[in-house]
Amino acid sequence: MKACVIVFPASNCDRDMKVALEQSIGSPVDMVWHRDTELSGYDLVAIPGGFSYGDYLRCGAMAARSPIMAEVVKHAERGGHVLGVCNGFQILCESGLLPGVLMRNANLKFICKDVALKVERADTPFTNGYSQGQIITYPVAHHDGNYFADDETLKRIEGEGQVALRYVKNPNGSRNDIAGVFNAKGNVLGMMPHPERLVDPLQGGIDGKPLFDALVKHLAA
């Protein structure tokens, strides 16, 4: 399988994502600059964390209008898989690939710590390395991770099983404790916590590794 990581000005988790993916794939992962417009041949596109364009306007709003994002949308529409983490989640929401929006944390402070998460679904390419209801730990590091969707949207994504992960103890005010969501087709996942920061024992744990291993196994089949 082939995977790439999109790099925007001020992305700062792109190398982390590349290393995590390469550990599971066993081959090099490409870095694609945001001004590029070619994604053909990739099975997985990853959008990493950071502060794209300095988080001016709303977080992810400017990056969502970069040339590469039109290609990411096309990639997702033809069934390609997309993973967005932290700023990547914000960009996916701003680009319309995922429902909802990420707002300022309820306590108006930057949050950086490990958090417990509940796996809501374990029957997807992203999450079948876990068990439904399993409690896992990922780090978070964000100022605008407060997930918001209106009542109608929230009812729809809950009813259609689009919630991937929930916070056990909500750190940022997200509605329904939502930490990650799928698109309707299930081939796009966005989340605020960072699985790529817990894939090696030297990082303090490996709770993030099953996500990458399961995704790579599915795409390489």
> Is residue 142 annotated as part of the catalytic site, yes or no?
no
Rg of the chain in Å (alpha carbons) = 16
Q: How far apart are the first and last CA of the chain?
A: 9
Check 71, 94, 120, 196 and give the catalytic one: 196
> Is residue 86 annotated as part of the catalytic site, yes or no?
yes
Check 4, 13, 86, 93 and give the catalytic one: 86
| Strand residue runs (E) in the chain | 3-7, 30-33, 44-47, 81-85, 101-103, 111-119, 135-142, 146-148, 163-167, 178-182, 188-191
Q: Is 165 exposed, middle or buried (0-12, 13-18, 19+ CB in 10 A)?
A: buried
Residues serving a catalytic function are 86, 194, 196
